[in-house]
Structures are given as structure tokens and as C-alpha cells.
Amino acid sequence: MSKVTSWDMKGTWDNKGAWETQGRLEEHQRAGLSEAGLRRMRDVLSGHVESGAVPGLVALVSRGDDTHVEAMGTMHAGGAEPMRRDTIFRMASLTKPVTATAVMILVEECRLRLDDPVDEWLPELANRRVLARIDAPLDETVPAARPITVRDLLTFTFGFGVVLAAPDTYPIQTAIRELGLDTTSPGFGPEEWIRRLGTLPLMHQPGELWQYHVGSDVLSVLVGRVTGQSLEEFLRERLFAPLGMKDTGFHVPADRIHRLPTSYAHHPETGELVVWDEAADGKYSRPPMFQAGGDGLVSTVDDYHAFYRMLLNKGTLGGERVLSRASVELMTMDHLTPGQKVEKDAFGDHFGRHGGFGFGMAVRTHRRDLASPGQFGWDGGLGTTAYADPAEGLTGILLTQSAMDSAHTPRLHRDFWTTAYQAIS
């Protein structure tokens, strides 16, 4: 057993949606991860690889000073090159908490304020019109009741997001597609992206409803305009370098491209793996025109673990303070009202699973499975998942190259989290 600094995490949810700890930070002997539990994890994960559900994976669980990593399977389906601990993955929506952190750095410097309108920095989003209803023609609108704020973007309540309906069900979906705003790799830069977005009405009033994803991409433009740097430049200076995240960015350089696995989706009829993105000459082999704050990063399990350790340590890692304790606590509390969680065109299962949403990530407000209230994190559509549980001092990260578009990858994720929690000593 190793001597670690940890929380005596007895507590309740306070009336503002934050997990309120009752106890004190103390030095004491606490068990980390059990060998028997880790063996069970290895057996369960290897079963998913051997079944062909995923070609390979890298998994990490940590608690206190104990960190355990499993790398198994291959980089490419049918290939021989093994997965390694330093394999670089497409993080997809695990980019969102990182983008939120960049914004909170600017909030702490008073260069942004949570409840100020974004009009000064994003005039394209000023004086908004709002659809009369989600299925209305684009010219059937009403004025926005108020401006969009930084907080609206961080909590995905600014009035615009992913519509979970068949393509072209609503006129707004058709307009999004025709403007090229429905892709993760638009053929234009951030200035043109925000200009095109600004030509569309909002789907809902600012602050009315949680809607997924687009808020993080808007934040990437906001960070660029406030700092005069690209999102990647700012992240590298203020987050990646201080935390030692040397392999994290918005593309994989040529001298590291051999560490990027093939990315797969599932055939809609057969469920077989089909290539979505190659490594060499693929989407992530060159700098993108738009550094998307919602889903654009690549990273390794150790780089992303450093980021989560910083959050779990309330803003500091290895003597480097990235954020204040207050900012991390604000990011990882539930900010949504019951009305904002109404499942209209938002994710139907999201609030059943987690219960709440903070800044760019989910927040657990109730105990539905093994995870504790207060757990925070997110999942990525290309096969990634990462959460931290302050009550247990537990961090888990599972990186695969198989998309979340069939039952196989979500089932693997659930089994990973079950074995991660049973591995607690």
C-alpha cells in the first residue's frame, strides 16, 4: 500500500448541484487497486478484443499512487502491430472538457466573464432570431429573449446544437448540411465557420434547453479571438506544456503517425468493422483548417491521464497550478435546471445515465450503477471514455479505435467501468 493524499468523501449534494464533502484532506494509508480485480479487468477486456469487437485498446485505471495500464490487440484490424501504451488516439468528444478548461483559464484572468454576453467577441451571434418551433421554416422566427453568454456555451444551453432526428427531418437540419456545418472536418477555417453559423436562427431561446456539441466548437472560436492565438497554441502554452501532455494536439506529426491506429466504424447492416479514417494520409495526418473544440484532439492515455489528475487534484499537478480549486469545482457541478434537461431534441439517455452536466462534461448526480455521485467526465463517439470519481479517488480511461455506432463499443465501455470499480482494493 502506498501513502497518498486523499479525501474522506462523505457528503451530499448541496442545493446548487455540487457534491459537498464533509471531512478533511488528510494523509493516511488507503488501498489502491487490487491484483485480483485487475486480473479480472484484463480477462474481460481481452475477451472483447478476441471476439473482434475491437482490434485493440489501451485502458488505464488509477487510484492514489497506483496506476495500471493495459494495452492489448493490434493497431489495425487483421494487422500484427500491437497496441502500445504510447498509441495516439482520436479523442473525439473527450476534447470538450479540455476546451472548457481553456475558457476557465480566461475567466480566471478576467478576460472573459461567465455571465457576460459574447457579442463583443462573437458579433456573428449578436441580436439572434429564434425558430418559432424546431420544425418551423427558417424565416418563421421570434427575437431572442436575451444575449448568449459564456456560461450558455459552456453548458450547451445557448440555443443551438445537434438535432437527433433523421437527416433533413427539419428545415434547420437541411440548412446546417448545406452550409457544411454538419461535418467534423469543414473545408474552411474558424472565421468562415462562425460566419456561416451566424446566418442561421437559433433552435431554442438562450438558456432554454441543453443541446449537444456545438457550444464547444463556438468556444474554440471565442478562445482564438480573446487570445489572438489558435486554440491549439493557447492550449499548448497554458495546459499541455505545464502538464507534460507532449503528444496532444489537433493532428499527428509525420514522425509520430506510425503511432496512430486505423479508425473504424461499423457497417450499418452487418455490424462489421469498416475503415473510417486511415492513419497515414488520413484526416488527422495534417493540421485541420478548423481546430474544433468539440471533437478535434488526438492524445495518449498518459497525456489524458495527466489532464484528469489535474482536475481530480482540484487544478494542480506536479507543482503546476492550471486552475483554482473553485474553478474546478464549478466545472464539475451540475448547472442545469430540470427544465433544461427536458428531452426534446437532446440526448434521450444522457440525463438518465448521469443526471447532470457541468462545463463541457457530464456530472453524476445520482447512483444508478457503481459510479459515485460527483463523478465527472465524458465519452467520445470514436470509441473513447474517461471519468474521474472524487469519492473513490478513481480515474478510468479507455481508448479504442472503434466508433460508438453499434452495441459493441458501448458494451465494452460498460464492462470496463464495471471492472474498474470492482478493482478498487
Find the helix packing angle between 190-197 and 214-227, rounded to 10°.
130
Cβ 327 vs Cβ 360: under 8 Å: no
pLDDT at 25 over 50: no
Mean pLDDT over residues 357-366, rounded? 95
pLDDT over 60 at 7, yes or no: no
Percent of the chain with pLDDT over 70: 91
- Rounded to 5 degrees, φ, ψ at 317 are -155, 125
> How are beta strands 89-90 and 129-131 bridged, if at all?
unpaired
pLDDT at 277 over 70: yes
* 56 in Cβ contact with 70 (< 8 Å): no
Q: What does residue 253 show for φ and ψ, rounded to 5 degrees?
A: -60, 155
Strand partners, 20: 12
DSSP 3-state assignment of 176? helix
Q: Distance between CA atoms of 273 and 422, rounded to whole angstroms?
A: 30
pLDDT band at 31 (very low <50, low <70, confident <90, very high): low
| C-alpha to C-alpha distance for 61 and 385, rounded to whole angstroms | 12
Residue where the block lists cell 456545438: 214
Q: How far, in Å, CA of 288 to CA of 302, rounded?
A: 24
Beta-strand runs (E) in 108-163: 129-131, 141-143
pLDDT tops 50 at residue 14: no
Mean pLDDT score, 111-119: 98
β-strands 394-400, 25-29: how paired? Answer: unpaired
Q: What pTM did the predictor assign?
A: 0.91
Whole-number mean pLDDT of the chain? 91
Task: Report the pLDDT averaged over residues 19-45.
Answer: 68
Q: Is the pLDDT of residue 2 over 80?
A: no
Q: How far apart are CA 225 and CA 203, in angstroms?
A: 25
Closest residue by Cα to residue 84 from 48, 60, 52, 51: 60
pLDDT-derived band at 24, boundaries 50, 70, 90: very low
Mean pLDDT of all residues in 23-34: 51
In 234-264, which positions are buried (b, 16+ CB within 10 angstroms) versus exposed (e)?
bbbebbbebbebebbbbbbeeeebebbbbbb
CB-CB contact of 307 with 314 (8 Å): no
CA angle 241, 247, 253 (to 5 degrees): 120
**Residue 69, CA atoms < 13 Å, CB-side half-sphere:** 14
- Please report which confidence band the pLDDT of residue 29 belongs to, taking 50, 70 and 90 as the band edges: very low
- Name beta bridge partners: 55: none
Three-state DSSP class for residue 331: helix
Q: Which H, E and C letters describe 267-304, residue by residue?
A: CCCCCCEEEEECCCCCHHHCCCCCCCCCCCCEECHHHH
Query: Is the confidence at residue 201, as pLDDT, over 60?
Result: yes
C-alpha cell read off for 414: 460498460
- Provide the sign of the torsion angle of the four alpha carbons 346, 347, 353, 358, taken in this order: negative
384-403: per-residue pLDDT in tens? 999 999 999 999 999 999 99
φ, ψ of residue 147 in degrees (nearest 5): -70, 165
Q: How confident is the model at residue 262 (pLDDT cuts 50, 70, 90)?
A: very high
> Does the pLDDT at position 243 exceed 50?
yes
18-32, 153-167, 262-276 — which is least confidently predicted?
18-32
Give me 126's grid cell. Answer: 449578436
Tell me the one-letter amino acid at 185.
S
Range 266-269, long-range pairs (CB < 8 A, 24+ positions) = 266/402, 266/403, 266/405, 266/406, 266/408, 268/405
